[in-house]
Amino acid sequence: MPLLPIVTLWSCLLAAMLALPVADARAEPAPAGRILYFNPEISIDNFLVLEEKFNAFLAEKGKTRFTPASTIATFEKELSGKPDGAQLLLISSWYYKSLRDTTRLRPLLIGTRNGMTSQKKVLVVRKEEKDPGDGINIASATSQEFASQLLDEMAARSKTPLPKRFGILRVPKDLDALMSVAFGMADAALAAEHGWRHLRQINPTQFERLRMLAESREIPLPILAVNEARADRDAALADPLRAMNQSEKGETALRLLGLDGFRPPTPAEEQFLNQ
């Protein structure tokens, strides 16, 4: 029997190889579930826009949905229900510590900003003002409850007496809080230290009108956490957020949260969160 030409044999072999099923090399989509969000440390201008932008990013990764809560009551109502699928919590580090009293949580990712995973808060007044007493108005993007706890912590570190009774003038951003004091619309501002430094860069004239009265310890940025009891099932929901800053849609959503990325917490950061 005559031998087939080498070209014919190679053609048959190639055809057979192409006929074999090929495994899909694409990454597995994230499982169905939701990410519940609550952060009393910042003010969100429009929760509908935040939800839309975050879900536009997640839609490319699977069936995970982002569900923001504007109040602690709304968040805790959502949290008390039984989730239909997997569930993660994207919450402030302050609220993470508060929830640990009733829920066993494990931090999966921590937010980053300019390479940092923590920030300080500062209390700022006008230079000519004496040390403020009770009854003042403090401009801040934080909630009243968080501001109260923060000022108590600052008072323990400060040699200057700080107000125990005050009102909060809620503003969208730290810069708005600082400018409110500079223009006399508030007696003091509670803002992130990086916002205080940013004011010096963009408006040195207004910066020179203000002085820092007290500062907090380092406060971790928001935490993406999972319930320990469901960690084996739910932790995979975090995977798309690990490289969120590598996507244009992801970067847009991150900016609305005041972040530029996420990364796993170090052992030291995890220990601090669980103290």
pLDDT values of the chain reduced to their tens digit, one per residue, 275 residues: 444 444 443 444 444 444 444 333 344 555 579 999 999 888 787 899 999 999 999 999 888 999 999 888 889 888 887 777 789 999 999 889 888 878 889 999 999 999 999 999 999 999 988 777 888 999 998 888 888 888 888 988 888 888 888 999 988 888 999 999 999 999 999 999 988 988 999 999 999 999 999 999 999 999 999 999 889 989 999 999 999 999 999 999 999 999 999 999 999 999 999 88
**Per-residue DSSP letter, 62:** E
Q: Give the total residue count for the chain.
A: 275
Given this model, what pLDDT does residue 253 score?
A: 96
- CA distance linking residue 111 with residue 47, whole number of Å: 19
Find, among 15, 37, 41, the residue nearest to 192 by Cα: 41
Domains of the chain: 30-116+221-273 (3.40.190.10), 121-217 (3.40.190.10)
Q: Is the pTM of this model over 0.75?
A: yes
CA dihedral 27, 31, 33, 145 (to 10 degrees): -50
Say which residue the tokens 């923590």 belong to. 118
Helix boundaries (H) for 100-226? 144-157, 174-182, 193-202, 204-207
> Which pair of structure tokens corresponds to residue 237?
């929901």
- 134 half-sphere exposure, CB direction, 13 A CA radius: 2
E strand map for 17-114: 30-38, 62-68, 86-91, 105-112
Please give the span between the terminal C-alpha atoms of the chain, in angstroms, as a whole number.
81
119: CB partners within 8 A, 6+ apart: 113, 192, 193, 194, 218, 219, 221
